Amino acid sequence: MKSACTLACALLALTMPSFAQQGMAHPAITPRPTTTAPVTPQATAAQVGSSPQDSATYVIGADDQLQITVWKETALTGPLTVRPDGQISMPLLGDVPAAGKTPMQLADLITAGLKKYVNDPTVTVTVSQVNSKRVFLIGQVGHIGPIMITPGMTVLQAISTAGGLTPYANGKKIYILRGPQGAQKKIPFNYKTAVRDGNQQGVALEPGDTIVVP
């Protein structure tokens, strides 16, 4: 009887550490999923050099940057800049008039020219950067440099887009320079008259104009 009791005590002593370890073991902790807030891209205003919003109706102008793609013809594919005379230079075709045409019209013109050299050419023209539809502002304005112009944009609107006049600006002596270097016209513009009376003084902005605010 004594030996049986001794054996039972020994077995109990052997099992107690196991129970103690189980009782003190920490429960497994399931890591909480990490929540990442969705990243919302910031809206950016249209800038000079951006691609046109409506490429189907956009009219190409001087200084615009184009991407010409001819399917399976890498030698004829690449970026081109419209020269001041409104033309681009392409292998095989030489000078091609681009200014005044939409991308689709220019693609059709290039396609017609390449048919003599390439079997069933497929041409795509995209405007990668708009540089022709802009005016420049210099002098006493908030932001000196080029801005994009829209049809019918007034001088007042252009100045506002450029951050308005500085406190040192002479609003009565503003003028617009128009035309090529050496043959520029100087068109006066009275800012105060335009603000007071809404009189735009017959000045309609054109691409390439420079607004000077002394």
pLDDT digits (tens, 9 = 90+) for 43-90: 233 445 566 656 678 899 999 999 999 999 999 999 999 998 999 999
Which candidate, 87, 103, 200, 211, places its Cα nearest to that of 147? 211
State if pTM tops 0.85.
Answer: no
pLDDT digits (tens, 9 = 90+) for 83-139: 989 999 999 999 999 999 999 999 999 999 999 999 999 999 999 998 999 999 999
The identity of residue 153, as a single letter, is M
Q: In what order do the strands lie in the sheet with 65-70?
A: 78-81, 65-70, 123-129
CA atoms of 70 and 120, how far apart (whole Å)? 10
pLDDT digits (tens, 9 = 90+) for 165-201: 999 999 999 999 998 888 889 999 999 988 888 878 8
Please report the domains of the chain, with CATH numbers, ordered by start residue.
65-129 (3.30.1950.10), 134-213 (3.10.560.10)
3-state secondary structure the chain: CHHHHHHHHHHHHHHHHHHHHHHHCCCCCCCCCCCCCCCCCCCCCCCCCCCCCCCCCCCCCCCCEEEEEECCCHHHCEEEECCCCCEEEECCCEEEECCCCCHHHHHHHHHHHHCCCCCCCCEEEEEEECCCCEEEEEECECCCEEEECCCCCCHHHHHHHCCCECCCCCHHHEEEEECCCCCCEEEEECHHHHHHHCCCCCCCCCCCCEEEEC
